[in-house]
Amino acid sequence: MAAKRVYQVWKGSNKFICGGRLVFGPDARSLFVTLLLIIVPLIIFCVCVARHLRHEFSPYNSGYAILAVAILFTIHVLAVLFLTSSGDPGIVPRNSHPPEEEFRYDSSVSADVGGAGRQTPTLQFSRTKEVVVNGIAVRVKYCETCMLYRPPRCSHCSICNNCVERFDHHCPWVGQCIGLRNYRYFFMFVSSATILCIYVFSLSALYIKVLMDNYDGTVWKAMKESPASVILMAYCFISLWFVGGLTGFHLYLIGTNQTTYENFRYRADSRINVFNRGCLNNFLEMFCTKVKPSRNNFRAFAREEVPRPLAPIIARPRDPDDGLGGDRRPKVEDDLDIGEDLLKISQRRNIEELDEEIRDRGSNGAPHHTSEPDSILSSDHRAPTIRSDARHSSWDRSGNWEIAQEVLANSNVTESRNYSKEMRQ
Protein backbone atom coordinates (compact mmCIF):
# COMPACT_ATOMS: atom_id res chain seq x y z
CA MET A 1 0.00 0.00 0.00
CA ALA A 2 1.45 3.37 -1.07
CA ALA A 3 2.24 5.82 1.70
CA LYS A 4 -0.12 8.78 1.92
CA ARG A 5 0.91 12.40 2.06
CA VAL A 6 0.00 14.89 4.76
CA TYR A 7 -2.68 16.66 2.72
CA GLN A 8 -4.41 13.32 2.04
CA VAL A 9 -4.87 12.58 5.75
CA TRP A 10 -5.38 16.18 6.87
CA LYS A 11 -7.96 16.42 9.67
CA GLY A 12 -8.99 20.01 8.95
CA SER A 13 -11.70 21.10 6.54
CA ASN A 14 -9.32 22.52 3.94
CA LYS A 15 -9.36 21.68 0.25
CA PHE A 16 -6.12 20.88 -1.56
CA ILE A 17 -5.32 21.00 -5.26
CA CYS A 18 -2.18 20.48 -7.34
CA GLY A 19 -1.01 17.66 -5.07
CA GLY A 20 -1.15 19.70 -1.87
CA ARG A 21 0.69 22.72 -3.27
CA LEU A 22 -2.38 24.94 -2.92
CA VAL A 23 -4.59 24.96 0.17
CA PHE A 24 -8.02 26.60 0.28
CA GLY A 25 -10.76 26.89 2.84
CA PRO A 26 -13.88 24.71 2.76
CA ASP A 27 -15.88 27.57 1.19
CA ALA A 28 -13.48 28.11 -1.69
CA ARG A 29 -16.37 28.15 -4.19
CA SER A 30 -17.22 31.67 -3.10
CA LEU A 31 -13.92 32.69 -4.67
CA PHE A 32 -15.52 32.35 -8.11
CA VAL A 33 -18.15 34.94 -7.12
CA THR A 34 -15.38 37.33 -6.13
CA LEU A 35 -13.63 36.78 -9.44
CA LEU A 36 -16.81 37.55 -11.36
CA LEU A 37 -17.35 40.75 -9.36
CA ILE A 38 -13.89 41.91 -10.43
CA ILE A 39 -13.52 40.62 -14.00
CA VAL A 40 -16.99 41.37 -15.40
CA PRO A 41 -16.94 45.13 -14.54
CA LEU A 42 -13.41 45.37 -15.94
CA ILE A 43 -14.47 43.90 -19.28
CA ILE A 44 -17.39 46.33 -19.47
CA PHE A 45 -15.06 49.19 -18.63
CA CYS A 46 -12.47 48.27 -21.26
CA VAL A 47 -15.04 47.76 -24.03
CA CYS A 48 -17.48 50.58 -23.32
CA VAL A 49 -15.35 53.29 -21.71
CA ALA A 50 -11.56 52.91 -22.05
CA ARG A 51 -11.76 52.07 -25.75
CA HIS A 52 -13.48 55.40 -26.52
CA LEU A 53 -10.94 57.37 -24.50
CA ARG A 54 -7.92 56.23 -26.53
CA HIS A 55 -7.79 59.36 -28.71
CA GLU A 56 -9.20 61.92 -26.32
CA PHE A 57 -5.84 63.03 -24.93
CA SER A 58 -2.77 64.53 -26.54
CA PRO A 59 -0.61 63.12 -27.89
CA TYR A 60 -3.10 61.24 -29.98
CA ASN A 61 -2.50 57.67 -28.70
CA SER A 62 -1.86 58.48 -25.05
CA GLY A 63 -5.31 57.21 -24.18
CA TYR A 64 -4.02 53.65 -24.54
CA ALA A 65 -2.40 54.09 -21.14
CA ILE A 66 -5.86 54.16 -19.56
CA LEU A 67 -6.60 50.73 -20.97
CA ALA A 68 -3.18 49.35 -20.02
CA VAL A 69 -3.35 50.62 -16.45
CA ALA A 70 -6.79 49.11 -15.93
CA ILE A 71 -5.68 45.70 -17.18
CA LEU A 72 -2.38 45.64 -15.26
CA PHE A 73 -3.94 46.83 -12.04
CA THR A 74 -6.67 44.20 -12.29
CA ILE A 75 -4.01 41.53 -12.75
CA HIS A 76 -2.36 42.82 -9.59
CA VAL A 77 -5.66 42.57 -7.68
CA LEU A 78 -6.20 39.01 -8.88
CA ALA A 79 -2.63 38.05 -7.96
CA VAL A 80 -2.89 39.20 -4.33
CA LEU A 81 -6.33 37.57 -4.14
CA PHE A 82 -4.75 34.30 -5.25
CA LEU A 83 -1.94 34.65 -2.69
CA THR A 84 -4.48 35.35 0.03
CA SER A 85 -6.74 32.39 -0.66
CA SER A 86 -4.37 29.65 -1.84
CA GLY A 87 -1.69 29.65 0.85
CA ASP A 88 -1.28 28.50 4.41
CA PRO A 89 -2.66 31.32 6.59
CA GLY A 90 -0.60 30.20 9.57
CA ILE A 91 -2.09 26.85 10.56
CA VAL A 92 -0.65 25.38 13.75
CA PRO A 93 -0.11 21.61 13.31
CA ARG A 94 -2.35 19.66 15.63
CA ASN A 95 -1.00 17.03 18.00
CA SER A 96 -1.97 13.39 17.85
CA HIS A 97 -1.91 13.18 21.67
CA PRO A 98 -2.39 15.71 24.47
CA PRO A 99 0.83 17.28 25.81
CA GLU A 100 2.21 14.78 28.32
CA GLU A 101 4.36 17.32 30.11
CA GLU A 102 1.22 19.08 31.29
CA PHE A 103 -0.39 15.98 32.82
CA ARG A 104 -0.76 15.36 36.49
CA TYR A 105 -2.00 12.02 37.74
CA ASP A 106 -4.79 11.79 40.26
CA SER A 107 -6.30 8.66 41.81
CA SER A 108 -10.03 8.29 42.12
CA VAL A 109 -12.25 5.44 43.27
CA SER A 110 -14.67 3.99 40.75
CA ALA A 111 -17.19 1.19 41.32
CA ASP A 112 -17.00 -1.87 39.10
CA VAL A 113 -19.78 -4.21 38.11
CA GLY A 114 -19.39 -6.41 41.13
CA GLY A 115 -19.73 -3.55 43.57
CA ALA A 116 -16.09 -3.46 44.68
CA GLY A 117 -14.03 -0.27 44.44
CA ARG A 118 -10.66 0.17 42.79
CA GLN A 119 -8.28 3.06 42.21
CA THR A 120 -7.61 4.25 38.67
CA PRO A 121 -5.38 7.14 37.57
CA THR A 122 -7.09 10.15 35.99
CA LEU A 123 -5.15 12.39 33.58
CA GLN A 124 -5.73 16.03 34.40
CA PHE A 125 -4.17 19.24 33.15
CA SER A 126 -4.96 22.92 33.22
CA ARG A 127 -7.15 24.39 30.49
CA THR A 128 -5.14 27.61 30.53
CA LYS A 129 -1.58 28.63 31.23
CA GLU A 130 0.39 31.86 31.23
CA VAL A 131 3.19 32.89 28.90
CA VAL A 132 5.24 36.09 28.99
CA VAL A 133 4.95 38.53 26.05
CA ASN A 134 7.00 41.75 26.18
CA GLY A 135 7.40 41.30 29.92
CA ILE A 136 3.66 40.89 30.55
CA ALA A 137 1.96 37.59 31.42
CA VAL A 138 -0.62 36.54 28.82
CA ARG A 139 -3.04 33.67 29.36
CA VAL A 140 -3.35 31.13 26.55
CA LYS A 141 -6.04 28.47 26.24
CA TYR A 142 -5.92 24.78 25.50
CA CYS A 143 -7.58 23.64 22.26
CA GLU A 144 -9.31 20.30 22.74
CA THR A 145 -9.61 19.72 18.98
CA CYS A 146 -5.96 20.32 18.11
CA MET A 147 -4.76 19.07 21.55
CA LEU A 148 -2.31 21.92 22.09
CA TYR A 149 -1.93 25.16 23.98
CA ARG A 150 -2.59 27.92 21.47
CA PRO A 151 0.23 30.41 20.93
CA PRO A 152 -0.57 34.04 21.82
CA ARG A 153 -3.07 35.64 19.39
CA CYS A 154 -3.95 32.23 18.02
CA SER A 155 -7.56 31.08 17.73
CA HIS A 156 -9.39 28.05 16.40
CA CYS A 157 -11.42 28.67 13.23
CA SER A 158 -14.66 26.70 13.40
CA ILE A 159 -15.05 26.81 9.61
CA CYS A 160 -11.60 25.51 8.65
CA ASN A 161 -11.30 23.45 11.86
CA ASN A 162 -7.72 24.62 12.43
CA CYS A 163 -5.85 26.74 14.94
CA VAL A 164 -4.45 29.78 13.08
CA GLU A 165 -1.64 32.02 14.30
CA ARG A 166 -2.55 35.70 14.68
CA PHE A 167 -6.08 34.82 13.65
CA ASP A 168 -7.88 37.86 12.21
CA HIS A 169 -11.10 36.44 10.78
CA HIS A 170 -12.42 33.97 8.23
CA CYS A 171 -13.24 35.81 5.02
CA PRO A 172 -15.94 34.13 2.89
CA TRP A 173 -15.10 36.35 -0.10
CA VAL A 174 -11.65 34.82 -0.42
CA GLY A 175 -12.65 31.41 0.98
CA GLN A 176 -9.82 31.31 3.49
CA CYS A 177 -8.81 32.24 7.02
CA ILE A 178 -6.88 35.47 7.42
CA GLY A 179 -3.91 34.97 9.72
CA LEU A 180 -0.24 35.54 10.27
CA ARG A 181 1.03 34.49 6.84
CA ASN A 182 -1.61 36.00 4.52
CA TYR A 183 -2.84 39.11 6.34
CA ARG A 184 -0.45 41.31 4.36
CA TYR A 185 -1.80 39.95 1.06
CA PHE A 186 -5.37 40.36 2.27
CA PHE A 187 -4.81 44.03 3.08
CA MET A 188 -3.14 44.56 -0.31
CA PHE A 189 -6.13 42.93 -1.99
CA VAL A 190 -8.68 45.10 -0.18
CA SER A 191 -6.73 48.33 -0.66
CA SER A 192 -5.98 47.54 -4.33
CA ALA A 193 -9.66 46.79 -4.96
CA THR A 194 -10.51 50.15 -3.41
CA ILE A 195 -8.06 51.96 -5.72
CA LEU A 196 -9.42 50.06 -8.73
CA CYS A 197 -12.98 51.12 -7.86
CA ILE A 198 -11.88 54.75 -7.60
CA TYR A 199 -10.04 54.47 -10.93
CA VAL A 200 -13.02 52.99 -12.81
CA PHE A 201 -15.48 55.40 -11.21
CA SER A 202 -13.32 58.44 -12.11
CA LEU A 203 -12.75 57.47 -15.74
CA SER A 204 -16.41 56.58 -16.25
CA ALA A 205 -17.36 60.04 -14.97
CA LEU A 206 -14.70 61.53 -17.26
CA TYR A 207 -16.22 59.80 -20.26
CA ILE A 208 -19.63 61.27 -19.39
CA LYS A 209 -17.94 64.70 -19.32
CA VAL A 210 -16.35 64.07 -22.74
CA LEU A 211 -19.71 63.11 -24.21
CA MET A 212 -21.25 66.28 -22.85
CA ASP A 213 -18.53 68.42 -24.48
CA ASN A 214 -18.62 66.63 -27.82
CA TYR A 215 -22.38 66.69 -28.29
CA ASP A 216 -23.08 69.97 -26.53
CA GLY A 217 -25.71 68.20 -24.49
CA THR A 218 -26.80 67.83 -20.96
CA VAL A 219 -25.90 65.17 -18.45
CA TRP A 220 -29.02 63.21 -19.27
CA LYS A 221 -28.15 63.05 -22.97
CA ALA A 222 -24.61 61.91 -22.15
CA MET A 223 -25.93 59.22 -19.83
CA LYS A 224 -28.28 57.98 -22.53
CA GLU A 225 -25.35 57.90 -24.94
CA SER A 226 -23.28 55.67 -22.58
CA PRO A 227 -25.48 53.75 -20.12
CA ALA A 228 -22.55 51.43 -19.36
CA SER A 229 -20.70 54.35 -17.75
CA VAL A 230 -23.66 55.00 -15.47
CA ILE A 231 -23.83 51.35 -14.44
CA LEU A 232 -20.10 51.27 -13.71
CA MET A 233 -20.29 54.44 -11.63
CA ALA A 234 -23.16 53.06 -9.56
CA TYR A 235 -21.40 49.72 -9.10
CA CYS A 236 -18.11 51.31 -8.03
CA PHE A 237 -19.88 53.70 -5.65
CA ILE A 238 -21.59 50.83 -3.85
CA SER A 239 -18.40 48.75 -3.79
CA LEU A 240 -16.46 51.62 -2.26
CA TRP A 241 -18.66 51.52 0.82
CA PHE A 242 -17.52 47.94 1.42
CA VAL A 243 -13.91 47.67 0.30
CA GLY A 244 -13.17 51.30 1.13
CA GLY A 245 -14.60 51.01 4.62
CA LEU A 246 -12.77 47.72 5.11
CA THR A 247 -9.49 49.34 4.05
CA GLY A 248 -9.92 52.18 6.54
CA PHE A 249 -10.78 49.76 9.34
CA HIS A 250 -7.72 47.61 8.71
CA LEU A 251 -5.49 50.69 8.56
CA TYR A 252 -6.67 51.42 12.10
CA LEU A 253 -6.01 47.81 13.16
CA ILE A 254 -2.50 47.84 11.72
CA GLY A 255 -1.70 51.18 13.39
CA THR A 256 -2.76 49.81 16.79
CA ASN A 257 -1.45 46.26 16.15
CA GLN A 258 -4.79 44.54 16.66
CA THR A 259 -6.70 41.86 14.84
CA THR A 260 -10.35 41.91 13.91
CA TYR A 261 -10.99 39.07 16.37
CA GLU A 262 -9.30 40.97 19.22
CA ASN A 263 -11.05 44.22 18.36
CA PHE A 264 -14.53 42.71 18.46
CA ARG A 265 -13.89 40.38 21.39
CA TYR A 266 -12.01 42.74 23.71
CA ARG A 267 -13.49 46.06 22.60
CA ALA A 268 -15.03 46.75 26.01
CA ASP A 269 -12.01 45.39 27.86
CA SER A 270 -9.62 47.88 29.41
CA ARG A 271 -6.61 45.56 29.24
CA ILE A 272 -3.33 46.83 27.82
CA ASN A 273 -2.44 45.77 24.28
CA VAL A 274 0.90 44.08 24.91
CA PHE A 275 1.59 43.79 21.16
CA ASN A 276 1.36 47.53 20.40
CA ARG A 277 4.83 48.89 19.57
CA GLY A 278 3.79 52.29 18.31
CA CYS A 279 2.12 53.28 15.05
CA LEU A 280 5.27 53.48 12.91
CA ASN A 281 6.77 50.25 14.24
CA ASN A 282 3.44 48.49 13.79
CA PHE A 283 3.35 49.41 10.10
CA LEU A 284 6.99 48.40 9.67
CA GLU A 285 6.28 45.08 11.34
CA MET A 286 3.37 44.42 8.98
CA PHE A 287 4.91 45.44 5.65
CA CYS A 288 8.69 45.28 6.11
CA THR A 289 9.21 41.94 7.81
CA LYS A 290 9.70 38.60 6.15
CA VAL A 291 6.72 36.27 5.99
CA LYS A 292 7.35 33.32 8.29
CA PRO A 293 7.62 29.92 6.63
CA SER A 294 4.74 27.51 6.96
CA ARG A 295 4.77 25.04 9.82
CA ASN A 296 3.19 22.42 7.58
CA ASN A 297 4.66 20.46 4.71
CA PHE A 298 1.48 19.23 3.08
CA ARG A 299 3.36 17.26 0.41
CA ALA A 300 5.48 15.29 2.88
CA PHE A 301 4.68 11.67 3.55
CA ALA A 302 2.48 11.21 6.58
CA ARG A 303 4.03 9.34 9.47
CA GLU A 304 2.11 6.52 11.04
CA GLU A 305 0.84 7.37 14.49
CA VAL A 306 2.42 5.22 17.17
CA PRO A 307 -0.17 3.99 19.67
CA ARG A 308 0.31 5.74 22.94
CA PRO A 309 1.11 3.41 25.88
CA LEU A 310 -1.63 3.08 28.43
CA ALA A 311 -1.32 4.95 31.69
CA PRO A 312 -0.03 2.84 34.61
CA ILE A 313 -2.85 1.45 36.71
CA ILE A 314 -2.60 2.04 40.44
CA ALA A 315 -3.55 -1.25 42.08
CA ARG A 316 -5.79 -1.11 45.12
CA PRO A 317 -4.61 -2.65 48.43
CA ARG A 318 -5.49 -6.28 48.93
CA ASP A 319 -8.72 -6.79 50.84
CA PRO A 320 -8.36 -9.46 53.58
CA ASP A 321 -12.01 -10.43 53.08
CA ASP A 322 -11.46 -11.08 49.38
CA GLY A 323 -10.48 -14.72 49.04
CA LEU A 324 -9.48 -14.34 45.42
CA GLY A 325 -6.86 -11.65 45.98
CA GLY A 326 -6.61 -7.97 45.11
CA ASP A 327 -5.16 -8.35 41.64
CA ARG A 328 -8.19 -10.05 40.09
CA ARG A 329 -9.92 -8.51 37.08
CA PRO A 330 -13.28 -7.06 38.13
CA LYS A 331 -15.25 -8.28 35.15
CA VAL A 332 -14.97 -12.01 34.34
CA GLU A 333 -18.57 -13.27 34.35
CA ASP A 334 -18.26 -14.82 30.88
CA ASP A 335 -15.06 -16.61 31.78
CA LEU A 336 -16.58 -17.95 35.00
CA ASP A 337 -19.50 -19.44 33.06
CA ILE A 338 -17.08 -21.12 30.67
CA GLY A 339 -15.10 -22.56 33.61
CA GLU A 340 -18.24 -23.96 35.25
CA ASP A 341 -19.33 -25.59 32.01
CA LEU A 342 -15.95 -27.27 31.61
CA LEU A 343 -16.10 -28.53 35.20
CA LYS A 344 -19.58 -30.01 34.70
CA ILE A 345 -18.48 -31.78 31.52
CA SER A 346 -15.50 -33.33 33.26
CA GLN A 347 -17.71 -34.43 36.17
CA ARG A 348 -20.16 -36.19 33.82
CA ARG A 349 -17.32 -38.13 32.25
CA ASN A 350 -16.00 -39.15 35.68
CA ILE A 351 -19.49 -40.39 36.72
CA GLU A 352 -19.71 -42.61 33.63
CA GLU A 353 -16.29 -44.08 34.36
CA LEU A 354 -17.20 -44.69 38.03
CA ASP A 355 -20.44 -46.40 36.98
CA GLU A 356 -18.54 -48.92 34.91
CA GLU A 357 -15.97 -49.47 37.68
CA ILE A 358 -18.65 -50.09 40.36
CA ARG A 359 -20.46 -52.55 38.13
CA ASP A 360 -17.25 -54.48 37.68
CA ARG A 361 -16.66 -54.49 41.45
CA GLY A 362 -20.25 -55.58 42.09
CA SER A 363 -19.72 -58.62 39.99
CA ASN A 364 -16.29 -59.48 41.48
CA GLY A 365 -16.52 -58.34 45.09
CA ALA A 366 -18.25 -56.25 47.75
CA PRO A 367 -18.39 -52.55 47.16
CA HIS A 368 -16.52 -50.11 49.32
CA HIS A 369 -18.70 -48.83 52.18
CA THR A 370 -18.48 -45.27 53.26
CA SER A 371 -20.29 -43.78 56.20
CA GLU A 372 -23.12 -41.44 55.29
CA PRO A 373 -22.03 -38.53 57.52
CA ASP A 374 -18.55 -38.56 56.04
CA SER A 375 -19.96 -38.57 52.53
CA ILE A 376 -22.26 -35.63 53.22
CA LEU A 377 -19.54 -33.61 54.98
CA SER A 378 -17.07 -34.42 52.27
CA SER A 379 -19.37 -33.41 49.41
CA ASP A 380 -20.53 -30.24 51.14
CA HIS A 381 -17.02 -29.26 52.07
CA ARG A 382 -15.15 -30.14 48.89
CA ALA A 383 -17.45 -28.71 46.22
CA PRO A 384 -16.93 -25.00 46.95
CA THR A 385 -13.21 -25.61 47.40
CA ILE A 386 -12.97 -27.14 43.95
CA ARG A 387 -14.69 -24.17 42.31
CA SER A 388 -12.58 -21.61 44.14
CA ASP A 389 -9.33 -23.40 43.35
CA ALA A 390 -10.31 -23.85 39.73
CA ARG A 391 -11.05 -20.18 39.25
CA HIS A 392 -8.01 -18.91 41.08
CA SER A 393 -5.34 -21.23 39.76
CA SER A 394 -6.48 -21.39 36.17
CA TRP A 395 -6.76 -17.59 35.72
CA ASP A 396 -3.42 -16.77 37.38
CA ARG A 397 -1.49 -19.26 35.26
CA SER A 398 -2.57 -18.69 31.70
CA GLY A 399 -5.49 -16.29 31.60
CA ASN A 400 -7.78 -19.07 30.26
CA TRP A 401 -10.14 -21.32 32.16
CA GLU A 402 -8.34 -24.71 32.10
CA ILE A 403 -9.12 -27.43 34.63
CA ALA A 404 -6.05 -28.36 36.65
CA GLN A 405 -5.24 -32.04 37.25
CA GLU A 406 -5.48 -31.83 41.03
CA VAL A 407 -8.90 -30.22 40.67
CA LEU A 408 -10.12 -33.08 38.51
CA ALA A 409 -8.78 -35.53 41.04
CA ASN A 410 -10.68 -33.84 43.86
CA SER A 411 -13.84 -33.87 41.79
CA ASN A 412 -13.42 -37.62 41.12
CA VAL A 413 -13.21 -38.37 44.84
CA THR A 414 -16.28 -36.28 45.62
CA GLU A 415 -18.40 -37.86 42.89
CA SER A 416 -17.26 -41.33 43.88
CA ARG A 417 -18.46 -40.85 47.44
CA ASN A 418 -21.79 -39.36 46.35
CA TYR A 419 -22.41 -42.15 43.89
CA SER A 420 -21.66 -44.87 46.47
CA LYS A 421 -24.23 -43.30 48.77
CA GLU A 422 -26.89 -43.43 46.08
CA MET A 423 -26.16 -47.10 45.31
CA ARG A 424 -26.62 -48.10 48.94
CA GLN A 425 -29.96 -46.34 49.08
Catalytic residues: 171
Sign of CA dihedral 268, 273, 276, 277: positive
Integer Rg of the chain from CA: 42
Environment class of 163 (CB within 10 Å of its CB; exposed 0-12, middle 13-18, buried 19+): buried
Question: Cα(373)–Cα(127) distance, rounded to whole angstroms?
Answer: 70
Question: Looking at this protein, which amino acid is placed at residue 284?
Answer: L
Centre a 10 Å sphere on the Cβ of residue 298 and count the other Cβ atoms it contains: 20
Q: If we measure between CA atoms, which residue out of 111, 86, 99, 78 comes closest to residue 20?
A: 86
